[in-house]
Structure 1
């Protein structure tokens, strides 16, 4: 939608549990991408000094070597070391800049949304926690929030931003309740990585001329499972992939086509009904650019001021302003507590910055010396005038 190269090549877009504005979806600083490539080279024995030579060396390494090298890298900024990069060709500017300028070359209908507990994937990525059933305590939550703040590169007033996030996602009635702490962590990850950027993207796309439809998937497969059997732990709720299970018809699919871990699942009739409705809505969007089922009009598009979204569960209901307090916290309030400042510069920019600092320092010293000289000269002139005024006049008599 934002690239000159793809203008006119498609007629609609669906972005599920993802946004071009999520900080873990794109790298906007090319020097950060370059630095990460140099780090990867060091991990796999490519220690050349020239970028082109490092790249040629990386091409000689096996995929397994590269994967192992990435896993062993220390990621200082962003969630992942390697993401799509704003190179100035495919995209001229960062997605947020283009959207705010309303430079959307293909403002086609845009369908987006989240699962209620998308943040479970962040917790599941902590594989070491599997042995304790992903139970976490308050120190772990605080550590992950600090890690988020550092990797997001909050440089100004970092402590205020850190304390604000910790305050919002602390279960104050019982600080020692690990189950509630885990829920708060999932809430934090869902808001920071998914809800806030998806909501911001929907807002900016709507303001830029696209017809936007937003949904929130609230259907929990574990609810109403036969004999109370759950194929997801209860704490996962509506997981990160749950909308994909509905969209691709997992409840209808022959077991041999399902992922290995889902072949023993006993899908209910409710699962099948919700999946059928989900698939039908997406089919209508692909055909008519409108996800409403035939002879229905319950899903009103997301507007810049009314912000409608469809709550998808056993039944479907229309609401406004999803998680507005937390969306406002991440998209507006937190930005007042810090300035996002990039610490990596190109050699040319770094040289110009040094010259600018030197010029400012020299100019400042020159101005101070001039002021001191003028002050001294003025003082001497003033004293000289007083001396001349008070000097005794001698009278000569002939």
Structure 2
């Protein structure tokens, strides 16, 4: 900004020649001119903001350069394979007879384990037990006392027979006695026998109590069968009351029950393969009525294993696949690679230039995982997944 200030020197000289009054007026004019200059300087920013002053020219910004873009494809190939369409029947393992065992006492340590999973046992066999040292000693002491009482009773009865025989002989010699010797001897022995008999009964009851107490510290099989589950205790792991530690199953009736809605497609008497985890088990379809076992449902379909598997547990799930249609050793691609566009079926392929290109195909059997390609592709051709 440039400010021009013009002073008329000639007028100034005239004021100088005119005297004091004119000189005073000239001084005031100079002061007013200086104030005008100061005002212009102060107003300059405001004038610029209001557009009265010219704006500085802004240079245009550099153009934004677009980054190169790339596209990633998921690729696969058209290969030879099998297309199998099947119905899957869901089944669940249900041994016809089994028992689940647990300790009735907690906070104890297991002293002995006598079996392992897969062992066959009979009713009454002991599978595992806690420390029984004290209770076994009590049982032995009680049994010894009971044996002694039983022996005493037997000896008393033998003595009674001898004494009664002697009393009868005396009675025969003195038939006119008021009270027979036999009666007297019999009454004496009856009292003693009654006392011993009562002691034996009390001893037997006590022995049964001790045995019941011991049984609570043992796992005992109540049916014949196979140990299909056995809990493995750590070295210092204590028992938990009522926690399942063993399962015994009757493997002669090892069954899978078909529980899905399509179970009726299984034909009784026909052999099927049950897939359970990584196991493939052979089983024959039977009706519950045919098996005639109290715990089975008469109208349900069961699959009886031809070879029982002790590693199976109640509730294990499996499937039986029934093949409906199949096309073997045919050209296949993933089912997801196929698209419908109007009345055409297409698959995207990778052409020679590396670009995605739609290819019209004719499809055959489709099982939802892979689809048969009847026409339009060649084996080994690269497929671009949508």
Tell me the TM-score normalised to structure 2 length.
0.18
Q: Which protein, 1 or 2, shows the higher relative CO under an 8 Å CA cutoff with sep ≥ 6?
A: 2
Higher share of residues assigned helix? 1
Higher share of residues assigned strand? 2
Tell me the TM-score normalised to structure 1 length.
0.17
- Higher CA-based Rg: 2
